[in-house]
Amino acid sequence: MGEIRPKRALKRNSRPPPPRNQAVKAANPIIIAQAPGRIHFLGEHGAPFGGLYLSAAIDRWIKVAVSPRRDNSLRFFAPDLSERKRTTLANLKYKREDRWANYIKAAIFIFAGIGIPMKGMNFTVLGNIPPQIGLASSSAIEVAAAVALRGFLKLKMNDQELVRRLAESHLAFFEEPPSLADYLIGLLARNNQFLIVDEPNMAVTKIKSPFSRCKFIIMDSRVPRLGVETELNARREDLKAALEMLSQGGDRANFRELAALDLMNSMGNLPEEIRRRSLHVVQEIRRVLDAEDYLVRADLAGFSRLIFHSHESLRDLYEVSCPETDWMVKRAQETIGVLGARMTGQGFGGCTYTIIKNEAVSGYRERIEDYERIFGFHPGIYEVKLATGGRVVTK
């Protein structure tokens, strides 16, 4: 739970924490809200230069319970980690040692920042989104806490405004830009639907999934991911340099404003590595647009080709794959009944997803049994469904 690795558990209070299955009820909550994890099927490496995604929420959740206190203290409890944190409304700020609780504090900061009167509160948070594998567990904490507080404070604030204020709060609180796409997915997703997420315009197009007789399987490679941010920053710098070269002093802000023909005609002017990175982003934007058409027409074969081509592009052009995830995708591609497989997330390890017909699941699982023997990592395997966005689940 949370995308920050838990350290040594803090000393518990004299009263032992309740059993896991009673943890949310133990806080005597007024409001409980939940928010989902998500998969990016296409597009995640285009931001902030493209900002167009094919995504969906999944039926893995973070739940946050809120109950009132008589003082101004803020108390946080994570039974999954056996950890408790505390602060006050007057001392509401980021603390590195508060790790997962910082995401709840960022949600509180929304309402404190606009002058909503508040007293002390208890927060209990738990969930089943696997952390640190690119499924947006941290964003889910923020969204679940924000939805719970909106209900707790009885505010009339629509989802679009909540997304905007959550993004502003995250930037002020963490001093780093948030993922607007994650917030939009976390709030606006619906069961059994894909989302075309236009991040710069904060727009979401919903498409009914044509995969009613299929399963979605996430496979965590468990590859240690060291130095990832350095590599990703280098690629972002390459894209920034490409835009400067291709714009030739103009005002073009991102690759969505560059037609593919412009890029092809200018290809000889780009250094080879920058050319490969840029080509991936431009082609990925087209794949997202084409995927929308394939999904609407239920053209599963066309959609399947897009997904496999996207992984090849991530491997060969953007170069964020690794032998382990390449092996997973290759094994899936060789399995009859698989309609698509690709790495998802930031890369250099992490996860793949596979879309597979129900009757082919057992054969697929047999084909990936060699993974641990070959690479030495025991994979995590999760079957998921396309789920709805954040909401209050009880009062």
Per the structure block, which two tokens stand in for 268? 């000889």
Active-site residues, by number, are 182
Distance CA 229, CA 238 (A): 14
Per the structure block, which two tokens stand in for 141? 């904490």
Distance CA 107, CA 153 (A): 13
Given a contact cutoff of 8 angstroms between Cβ atoms, the answer to whether 81 and 6 are in contact is: yes
Q: Is residue 42 part of a domain?
A: yes
The pLDDT of residue 252: 58
Question: Residue 163 maps to which CATH number?
Answer: 3.30.230.10
Distance CA 8, CA 333 (A): 41
Q: Is 223 found in the same domain as 372?
A: yes
Q: Is residue 15 part of a domain?
A: no
33 Cβ contact list (under 8 Å, min separation 6): 63, 64, 144, 145, 147, 148, 151, 390, 391, 392, 393
Q: Is residue 147 part of a domain?
A: yes
Q: Is 278 found in the same domain as 177?
A: no
Distance CA 40, CA 191 (A): 16
Dihedral of alpha carbons 58, 176, 352, 370, sign: negative
Pick from 234, 36, 22: which is nearest to 142 by CA? Answer: 36
Q: Is 250 found in the same domain as 153?
A: no
Q: Which amino acid is at 251?
A: D
Distance CA 191, CA 262 (A): 39
Structurally, the chain folds into a number of domains equal to 2
**Count of residues making up the chain:** 395
Q: Is residue 324 part of a domain?
A: yes
The pLDDT of residue 119: 92
Q: Is 349 found in the same domain as 201?
A: no
* DSSP assigned state of 335: S
Letter string b/e over residues 355-369, b meaning 16 or more CB atoms within 10 A of that residue's CB = bbbeebbeebeebbe
The total of other beta-carbon atoms located within 10 Å of residue 201's CB is 10
Q: Is 376 found in the same domain as 355?
A: yes
Distance CA 340, CA 301 (A): 9
Q: Output the CA–CA distances (angstroms, integers) from residue 23 to 63, 64, 79, 82, 300, in the order listed.
A: 11, 11, 7, 11, 43
Residue with the two structure tokens 């947006």 = 136
Dihedral of alpha carbons 247, 198, 177, 37, sign: negative
Q: Is 237 found in the same domain as 183?
A: no
Per the structure block, which two tokens stand in for 59? 């039926």
Greatest Cα pair distance in the chain: 70
Give the domain extent around 55.
20-208+388-394
Give alpha helix (H) positions in 209-259: 228-247
Q: Is 247 found in the same domain as 169?
A: no
Q: Is residue 301 part of a domain?
A: yes
Q: Which amino acid is at 310?
A: S
Q: Is 204 found in the same domain as 320?
A: no
The reply to whether omega before 48 is within 30° of 0 (cis) is yes
Based on DSSP, count helices (H) and strands (E) in the chain, helices before strands: 12, 12
Q: Is residue 368 part of a domain?
A: yes
Q: Is 169 found in the same domain as 256?
A: no
Given a contact cutoff of 8 angstroms between Cβ atoms, the answer to whether 41 and 195 are in contact is: no
Per the structure block, which two tokens stand in for 337? 């009944």
Q: Is 302 found in the same domain as 273?
A: yes
Given a contact cutoff of 8 angstroms between Cβ atoms, the answer to whether 256 and 51 are in contact is: yes
Q: Which helix (H) or strand (E) holds 334?
A: none
Q: Is 272 found in the same domain as 298?
A: yes
Give pLDDT tens digits along the chain (395 positions).
544 333 333 333 334 444 444 334 434 458 999 999 999 999 998 777 778 999 999 999 999 999 999 999 999 999 999 999 999 999 999 999 999 999 999 999 999 988 999 999 999 999 999 988 889 999 999 999 999 999 999 999 999 999 999 999 999 999 999 999 999 999 999 999 999 999 989 999 999 999 999 999 999 999 998 888 899 999 999 998 888 887 776 665 578 776 555 666 666 678 999 999 988 998 999 999 999 999 999 999 999 999 999 999 999 999 999 999 999 999 999 999 999 999 999 999 999 999 999 999 999 999 999 999 999 999 999 999 999 999 999 75
Q: Is residue 254 part of a domain?
A: yes
Given a contact cutoff of 8 angstroms between Cβ atoms, the answer to whether 92 and 85 are in contact is: no
**Burial environment of residue 168 by CB neighbours within 10 A (0 to 12, 13 to 18, 19 or more):** middle
Q: Is 187 found in the same domain as 152?
A: yes
Q: Is residue 2 part of a domain?
A: no
Question: Residue 280 maps to which CATH number?
Answer: 3.30.70.890
181 Cβ contact list (under 8 Å, min separation 6): 40, 47, 51, 53, 55, 197, 199
49 Cβ contact list (under 8 Å, min separation 6): 236, 239, 240, 243, 254, 255, 281
